[in-house]
Structure 1
Amino acid sequence: PEILAAHTAWIKGSKEIVGLMLMTMEPEIQRNMETLHAHEMLLELKTLFAQQAE
């Protein structure tokens, strides 16, 4: 029960973070990222901006 509650809370928090991250993005980037989880989105954004900085 405790593990399930912790997992449920983690999923809820992750979805909230994804929503906030998506709201701050330009529409084109948003469309490309909307299917990703928060951590995957963060990694993808790091890669995207590292490429732009080169």
Structure 2
Amino acid sequence: MPTYEVHGPDPDGDFFIVRIETKGEAHSETSLDEVYVTREAAQAAADKLNGK
């Protein structure tokens, strides 16, 4: 089951959500397209995706 984490800020000052999946020893990270102006907004979206 994937988990979602907040990363950033990027050079533009935006925060983004990364989908993290681990299957056995394989680990992948995929950035979602949407960006957020604040860490709090990104964390709220990540929490929703994580079912919190």
Give TM-score, length-normalised by structure 2: 0.37
Larger strand share, 1 or 2: 2
Q: Which has the larger radius of gyration?
A: 1
Using CA pairs under 8 Å that are at least 6 residues apart, name the structure with larger relative contact order, 1 or 2.
2
Give TM-score, length-normalised by structure 1: 0.36
